[in-house]
Amino acid sequence: MKHQHTPLNHQQLCPNLTFYDLYPPATDMLAEVSQSLSAPAPSLHPKYFYDEAGSALFDRITRTPEYYPTRTETSLLTAYAEEIRARLNQPQTIAEPGAGSCEKVRLLLDAWQPRHYMPLEISRECLLGASRQLAQDFPDVHISAVCADYCQAMAMPQALAQPGRVVFFPGSTIGNFEPAARGEFLKGLRTLAGPGGALLIGADLQKPDTRLNAAYNDAEGLTAAFNMNALHHLNRELGCQFDTDNMQHVAFYNTARQRIEMHLECLSDQHIHLGERTLTLKSGTRIHTENSYKFTVESFSAELVAAGFTPLSCWTDPQNLFSLHLAQV
Long-range contacts, stretch 295-301, CB < 8 angstroms, 24+ apart: 295/175, 295/203, 295/204, 295/205, 295/206, 295/258, 295/323, 296/205, 296/206, 297/205, 297/323, 297/325, 300/203, 300/325, 301/325
Q: What angle do CA 23, 25, 29 make, to 5 degrees?
A: 140
Comparing C-alpha atoms, which of 230, 193, 197 is closest to residue 97?
193
Long-range contacts, stretch 301-304, CB < 8 angstroms, 24+ apart: 301/325, 303/182, 303/183, 303/186, 304/186, 304/199, 304/201
Please tell me whether residue 176 binds ligand AVI under the rule CB under 6 A: yes
Q: Which of 72, 173, 270, 323 binds ligand AVI (CB under 6 A)?
A: 173
Please tell me whether residue 72 binds ligand AVI under the rule CB under 6 A: no
Q: Least Å distance between CB 190 and ligand AVI?
A: 21
Q: Which of 20, 168, 169, 216 binds ligand AVI (CB under 6 A)?
A: 216
Please tell me whether residue 202 binds ligand AVI under the rule CB under 6 A: no
Helix axis angle, 52-61 relative to 222-238, nearest 10°?
Answer: 170
From the list 6-14, 168-176, 184-192, 267-275, the region that binds ligand AVI by CB under 6 A is 168-176
Please tell me whether residue 162 binds ligand AVI under the rule CB under 6 A: no
Q: Least Å distance between CB 225 and ligand AVI?
A: 11
Please tell me whether residue 64 binds ligand AVI under the rule CB under 6 A: no
Q: Least Å distance between CB 322 and ligand AVI?
A: 11
From the list 123-131, 146-154, 173-181, 206-214, the region that binds ligand AVI by CB under 6 A is 173-181
Q: Which residue is nearest to ligand AVI (CB)?
A: 292
Rule CB under 6 A: which residues touch ligand AVI? 61, 69, 171-173, 175-176, 216, 223, 290, 292
